[in-house]
Structure 1
């Protein structure tokens, strides 16, 4: 016994009524709209930078674009500094209690 598929019957249910899941008004269902595979492959775009490069204070001595200190890179903030625990090691421990 095979499964009835409205996409193989011009978007109609077994009773002959339109299956709204197949219509283009529902989103990616129709054939006259954007291709979900193409749209998904585009992925998300990072906001902020227009040239594809993201400014990273960690690559600029802990300074923001405006030259002020980015406190997130400071060891006083947590894992940001080089004199504290290694975040990769601590993260690998997971939820272990000490």
Structure 2
């Protein structure tokens, strides 16, 4: 017994009604519209700053752009500082308690 595939029957179900999963209105299903392969290659470009211009306080002594301390990089916040437990070692311990 073979499986009926609307994509092989001009996007129509067995009863002759349009199958919305193969229409371009549903997303990448139809043949007209953006190519999913091309769109997928664009990947994680979500806007924001481009070209790797992200300011990283960890690369600037734990200071934000405005010169104030970024608490995420301090040891009081968790694993941010250089003194205290090694996050790699602690992570390997995992959920063993």
Aligned partner of 1:35 in structure 2 is: 35
Deviation at 1:15, TM superposition (A): 1.5
Deviation at 1:50, TM superposition (A): 2.8
- The structure 1 segments of at least 4 consecutive aligned residues displaced by more than 6 Å after TM superposition are none
Q: TM-score, normalised by structure 1?
A: 0.88
Identify which range, 53-62 or 43-52, moves more after superposition. 43-52
Instruction: Summarize deviations over 1:22-59 as a string: whole Å, max 9, x none.
Output: 11111111111112222122112355423333211111
Aligned partner of 1:24 in structure 2 is: 24
Identify which range, 29-38 or 41-50, moves more after superposition. 41-50
Aligned partner of 1:94 in structure 2 is: 94
Q: TM-score, normalised by structure 2?
A: 0.88
Aligned residues: 97
Give unpaired runs (5+ residues) of structure 2: none
Give unpaired runs (5+ residues) of structure 1: none
